[in-house]
Copies of this chain bind each other. A is one copy, B any other.
Amino acid sequence: MKKGDATRTTILDRATTLARTVGLEGLTIGQLATALELSKSGLFAHFGSKEALQIAVIEHARDRFVSEVIAPALKVSRGTPRLRALVDRWMKWGEDACVFVQLSAELDDRPGPARDAVAATIRDWMDALATAAKIAVDEGHLRADTDPKQLAFELYGVMLAYHTVGRLLGDPKGAARARRAIDALLARAA
């Protein structure tokens, strides 16, 4: 990794954390500069505009999701083991908080490039989940009448409930409930 990349990663990690409390729309280059003790003009030179910073934050989160959740699971053997690996890593990803859950809710009523970038990321992820489910059907691990997209939709719902129950309601049982729900979904399809 080049020095410039490391700086960019540091900046975007901090921007993601900041966006958690102030929202993506509330995130300003000035505020980020203060938080990082960098010059505002330097950050402007880096990102050019607030909108470019927003897109960079989303792409940074997407890249992290791909490398922490998707890439390692693709090394697991095809079928239910890989689907399980995806779901397990997804749960781990959302343990603290999932930036995409926040961004979905914040941006769903705000048309523009940021909303499009979040929607594309979530669409890609649901496609990846459905593909893994389809492979599990092809491998004979899941029943032939399983609808992979429906299963992806239902798994997604469990994760969203896990996020809300854990983050907002502070219910420590959220993870156990999510695991039970996932087990039931996969058992029903097996």
Chain A positions within 8 Å of B, measured between CB atoms, are: 20-23, 25-26, 97, 101-102, 104-110, 115, 118-119, 122-123, 126, 149-150, 153-154, 156-162, 164-165, 167-170, 177-178, 180-181, 184, 188
Q: Judge whether A21 and B110 touch: CB under 8 Å.
A: yes
Q: How many copies does the complex hold?
A: 2
- Roughly how many angstroms separate A111 CA and B29 CA in the complex, as a whole number? 24
Sample 23 A-B pairs with CB under 8 A, ordered by A number. A20-B109, A23-B26, A23-B106, A97-B108, A97-B109, A104-B105, A105-B105, A107-B168, A108-B167, A108-B168, A109-B167, A118-B168, A119-B170, A122-B168, A122-B169, A149-B177, A150-B181, A153-B165, A154-B158, A157-B157, A157-B161, A160-B160, A184-B188
Query: Which B residues are in CB contact (< 8 Å) with A97?
Result: 108-109
Query: Which B residues are in CB contact (< 8 Å) with A158?
Result: 154, 157
Return the chain B residue nearest A162 by Cβ: B157
Q: Judge whether A168 and B21 touch: CB under 8 Å.
A: no
Pairs A-B, 7 closest by C-beta atoms: A105-B105, A157-B161, A157-B157, A160-B160, A108-B167, A108-B168, A153-B177
Query: Which B residues are in CB contact (< 8 Å) with A170?
Result: 119
Which of B123, B154, B178 contacts A181 (CB under 8 A)?
B154
A35 to chain B, nearest CB (A): 15
Q: Judge whether A101 and B110 touch: CB under 8 Å.
A: no
